[in-house]
Amino acid sequence: MPQITYVHPNGTREVLDVPVGTSVMRGAILNSVDGIVAECGGEMMCATCHVYVEENQLGRTPTQSDDEKAMLEFTASERRPNSRLSCQLVVTPELDGLVVYLPETQV
């Protein structure tokens, strides 16, 4: 099963097995990872599952839809070039080893 690493703002790392087909957001929720809120449950309505993807892994992530780009303007923490909504990062075998950094705040 692919492993996803969630890095908290204080540097703590949580490494989780997330099944293929499950989003990085849902993987965090199912394991109660602090720092992913996911108010809307993955509907791209809230931008509270914001993560920063490890820069050199960006190329492995699925492309951003226009809706995701628009909603990323609503993040509580600063939007950066590697900002993603983790509900849109559906885990595939290629995403094994993905590292995402959690922002200071989601709301």
Gap between the Cα atoms of 67 and 97, Å rounded: 26
Nearer Cβ to another protein (15/70): 70
Instruction: Extract the tokens encoding 30.
Output: 């199912």
Give me the least distance between CB of 27 and another protein, in Å please: 10
Q: Which residues pair with 43 in a beta bridge?
A: none
Q: For residue 15, what is the enclosing H or E element?
A: strand 13-17
40 binds another protein (CB under 8 A): yes
> By CB under 8 A, what part of segment 17-36 binds another protein?
22, 26, 29-32
Q: Does 7 bind another protein (CB under 8 A)?
A: no
Which one of 15, 20, 45, 58 is in contact with another protein (CB under 8 A)?
45
Among positions 80-99, residues that touch another protein (CB under 8 A) are none
Quick count: other Cβ atoms within 10 Å of Cβ 19?
A: 11
Question: Residue 27 has which token pair?
Answer: 């993987």
What is the 8-class DSSP label of residue 79?
P
* Binding residues for another protein (CB under 8 A): 22, 26, 29-32, 39-46, 66-67, 70-71, 73-74, 76, 107
